[in-house]
Amino acid sequence: MGFFDRVSESQDMGIDLGTANTLIYIPGKNIVFDEPSIIAIDDDTNKTIATGKEAQKMLGRTPKNVRTVRPLKDGVITDVKETEMMLRDFIKKARGNNNLTRSRIVIGVPSGITSVEEKALKDAMEISGAIDNIDFIDEPVAAAIGAGLPVDEPVGSMIVDIGGGTTEVAVLSLQGIVISDSVRIAGDEVTEAIKRYLKRTYNLIIGERTAEQIKMEIGSAYPTDNDQENMEIRGLNIVSGLPKTVTISVEEIRECIADTVELIVDAIKKILEQTPPELAGDIIDRGIMLAGGGALLKGLDSLIANETGIITHIAPNPLKCVVYGTGKVLEDYDRLGRTSRKK
């Protein structure tokens, strides 16, 4: 079989199945798919109406019989069937019109996934195309590889992957997880804290996307250069039901998310306390690496550094670490294939 036959027949894929976003990487093509993990389903026919960006636009705007959901919202697979339907559509979009006979898939999954959920995903992917081989890899391991940490050396590395639904904290050495924890507090909870605060303090109701926008624009975990800034927020007055605008400050938002952010820092501290001394020494020397979209919250690195006393880095492309990690595993399977979960 010549080179071109092989290319036309096989299409290996690295997948980051995240609670907020799913990304797909094809060796030689880079990231070919990057969309929110959302599906709109017609309840009458049980058919997929839309997925990804298209389904996101429908959030909160659908007729009664259409359900728009994030099937992984809580960090594990909340609804196996919906996840299956969504993933199948994503793979179809990523592959385009290619006619394929065989391929390998490396997929990053939350480390809390059960074997039943794993099996269901495997079945879903097998249905969606001729797939020879599916490797599941724990998200923190993929994130560490994608962030360029020396996972196959006998040194300790700490990766903290702050996604939408979960924060995964792991210490890795020699391609394996030495110690890890997954908490259900991450970016979405920070967004929720902003919503709760505005409702409680100003009787102001805002939607999920507005709250997320506030977080990204003026949210911070630590004092910043633009602490004097304000932002005008439009929402609905809970009492009158009429539109209302309030002006809030950077400091105010920092205060209202502080308790939630602290829970993320606590998860890191807890793992550090349980890390064997030799590896802890390595982490002190090399620092903590942050990945996932939550790592982009302004000042979070400074807060973590300040509270742990350990230098804290943000990975160059925090939202893409996991999918790049799965891609690297595919491209260097002989060396990194061992990092996948044992079946």
164 binds, among Mg ion, ligand ADP, none (CB under 5 to 8 A by kind): ligand ADP
20: Cα within 13 Å, side-chain hemisphere: 21
163 belongs to the binding site for Mg ion (CB under 5 A): yes
Q: Which amino acid is at 77?
A: I
Tokens of 37: 């993990």
CB 86 → ligand ADP: shortest distance, Å?
13
Of positions 140, 292, 325, 327, contacts ligand ADP by CB under 6 A: 292
- Residues numbered 200 to 239 that lie near ligand ADP (CB under 6 A) are 212, 215-216
Among 18, 36, 146, 318, binds Mg ion (CB under 5 A): 18
User: How do the residues of the chain divide into helix, strand and coil, expressed in percent and rounded to 5?
Assistant: 45, 25, 30
CB of 296 to ligand ADP, least distance (A): 3
Sorted by sequence, the CB contacts under 8 Å of residue 172 that are 6+ apart come out as: 140, 141, 144, 149, 151, 156, 157, 158, 159, 178
| Interface with Mg ion, residue 164, by CB under 5 A | no
- 315 contacts ligand ADP (rule: CB under 6 A): no
What is the SS3 assignment for 17?
A: strand
- C-alpha torsion 232→237→238→240, nearest 10: 170
Which tokens hold the place of 44?
A: 């009458």
State the minimum distance, in angstroms, from the CB of residue 145 to Mg ion: 13
Interface with ligand ADP in residues 144-183 (CB under 6 A):
163-165
Shortest Å distance, C-beta 119 to ligand ADP: 22
Considering only residues 256 to 285 of the shown chain, the ones binding ligand ADP according to CB under 6 A are none
Of the candidates 71, 293, 325, 327, which one interacts with ligand ADP according to CB under 6 A?
293
Identity at 16, one-letter amino acid code = D
Q: Which two tokens stand for residue 173?
A: 């050495």
Residues that bind Mg ion (CB under 5 A): 18, 163
Residues that bind ligand ADP (CB under 6 A): 18-21, 163-165, 187-188, 191, 212, 215-216, 292-294, 296-297, 319
